Amino acid sequence: MSDFVTFTNEFGQTVQMSREDYQKKVIPANLDRYWDDKDKLRNFAMELAKEQFNEEAASAADRLLELYGPIESALIFRAVVHMQAKEFERAKTILINCLDRFPASGTACTNLAKIYGAEGDEAKAFEMLETGLFKDPNQENALNLYAQAFVNSGRKDELRRRLETLSSKEGAWRPKLHLARLALTEENLLKAMQCYREAIEGTNDRFEVVMTVTGELGQAGYVYQLIQICEDYWQPDFPYPYAGFNYANALLATDQKEKAIAILRHMQDHLADNYKPMVDHFLARIPGAAEVEAAAEQKVALEQAENPAHKKSWWKFWKS
C-alpha cells in the first residue's frame, strides 16, 4: 500500500497527498458533500475501497444501502468492504442474502468463492466460482481465476472444454477471449482469430474488446492480424485512444507510416479534450512524422486547388 493517494480535485487537477492528510482533510469533506448524492457517493466509496480506507468505505457503503435500498450492487459492495476488512462472516451473510433476493447474481457467487478460498476451502471456492460463471459467463475477474486454476494444474484440455461450454450460453462472449488466448499459447492462430472475432461481435461495448484484442495480438507479435482486426472493427470515434495506438504501432511496424499518422489524426478529431494531447505525444515519437504530414498536406492542397469543392483535412482525404 502506498503512503500517498493520487486523486482528482474539484477543479479537475491531479493531486498527490499523504494518506494521513487525505484521511483527515479530504475524506470527511467529501463524505459530507456527497452524503445525499447517491451517484457521487457511490463513486467516492469505490475510490475509498480501492485505496483501502476500510472504515470510511464501510460508512459510505452503509449509507448507499440507505439511499438505494437493498439492490444487488449495493449489497455486493457492502460485502466487498467487509471482505477487505477480513470480516468474512458478515460478508457471507450479506452475499447469501443477496442470492436469496437476486438468484441470478453471478457476482455474489464469485465473491462467496473468494471468501471460501481465503478460508482455505478450495473445493467449495471452485464450485461456487463455476456456479457464478454459469449464471454470468462474462465476469472478467471470475474467468481469470477460473482459467488460472486449470492452467496451474496443467489441465488445459479440460479448461478448453469448460470454456466452450460457457461460450455456448446465450450472450457469452468473454469466455471466447480466453479460448483465443489458449489457442495463441498453442500457436493455433486461425482458431485464435476466430475466437477473437466472435468475442468482439458478441458484445455491445466493442471498443473495450477491440482494445484488449489488439493489445494481446500486438504483444504476441501478430501485427498483420492486429491490422485485420482494426480494419474490420476499429472506429475513430472510440472513446479511448488505446486501440488506435495499437493500430498505429502495427502500421508503423509494417512500414505504413502515412496511414498510421492518418488514423491517429482522424482519431484525434473525435477524442475528448483530455486525450487529444496523447496523440500529439505519440506522433512526436515517430521519426519523420512532421515531414510526412507536411508532404501530405501539400499534396492535398494542390489537389484541392484544382477541385475547390472538395475541402477536407488531409487524413480524411487519404482515407477516401
Query: Is the predicted pLDDT of residue 64 greater than 70, yes or no?
Result: yes
Give the model's pLDDT for residue 314. Answer: 47
Which residues are 18's β-sheet partners?
4
Give the pLDDT band (50/70/90) at residue 310.
low
Q: What is the mean pLDDT of residues 58-71?
A: 96
In our burial notation (b when 16+ CB lie closer than 10 A, e otherwise), range 196-220 reads: bbbbbebbeebbbbbbbbbebbbeb
Give the model's pLDDT for residue 74. Answer: 97
Query: Is the predicted pLDDT of residue 315 greater than 60, yes or no?
Result: no
Query: What are 70-128's pLDDT values in tens digits?
Result: 999 999 999 999 999 999 999 999 999 999 999 999 999 999 999 999 999 999 999 99
Query: What are 264-307's pLDDT values in tens digits?
Result: 999 999 999 999 999 999 999 999 988 888 887 777 777 666 67
Instruction: Please state, in angstroms and rounded to a whole number, the distance separating the CA atoms of residues 99 and 287.
Output: 57
Give the pLDDT band (50/70/90) at residue 14.
confident
Q: How far is CA 101 from the centre of its chain?
A: 28
Query: Is the predicted pLDDT of residue 246 greater than 70, yes or no?
Result: yes
Give the model's pLDDT for residue 317. Answer: 45
Give the pLDDT band (50/70/90) at residue 13.
confident
Report all structural domains of the chain as residue ranges with CATH numbers, in order of start. 142-204 (1.25.40), 221-320 (no CATH)
Instruction: Please state, in angstroms and rounded to a whole number, the distance separating the CA atoms of residues 24 and 50.
Output: 17
Give the model's pLDDT for residue 298. Answer: 77
Query: Is the predicted pLDDT of residue 320 greater than 60, yes or no?
Result: no
pLDDT > 90: what percent of the chain? 83
Q: What is the mean pLDDT of residues 207-235?
A: 97
Instruction: Please state, in angstroms and rounded to a whole number, the distance separating the CA atoms of residues 23 and 281.
Output: 35
pTM: 0.84
For the beta carbon of residue 62, count every other beta carbon within 10 angstroms. Answer: 13
For residues 299 and 291, the answer to whether their CB atoms sit within 8 Å is no
Give the model's pLDDT for residue 169. Answer: 95
Q: Which residues contact 228 (CB under 8 A, 6 or more apart)?
A: 193
Mean pLDDT of the chain: 92
Give the model's pLDDT for residue 173. Answer: 97
Give the pLDDT band (50/70/90) at residue 176.
very high
* 274 burial type by CB count under 10 A (0-12 exposed, 13-18 middle, 19+ buried): exposed
- Among all chains, which residue has been given the C-alpha cell 484521511? 23
Q: What is the mean pLDDT of residues 241-251?
A: 98
Query: What are 17-49's pLDDT values in tens digits?
Result: 899 999 999 999 999 999 999 999 999 999 999
Of 293 and 140, which is predicted with more confidence? 140
pLDDT > 70: what percent of the chain? 94
Sign of CA dihedral 300, 301, 303, 308: positive
Query: Is the predicted pLDDT of residue 168 greater than 80, yes or no?
Result: yes
Residue 177 grid coordinates: 477471449
Give the model's pLDDT for residue 318. Answer: 46
Instruction: Please state, in angstroms and rounded to a whole number, the distance separating the CA atoms of residues 108 and 104.
Output: 9
Q: What is the mean pLDDT of residues 204-226?
A: 96
Give the model's pLDDT for residue 292. Answer: 85
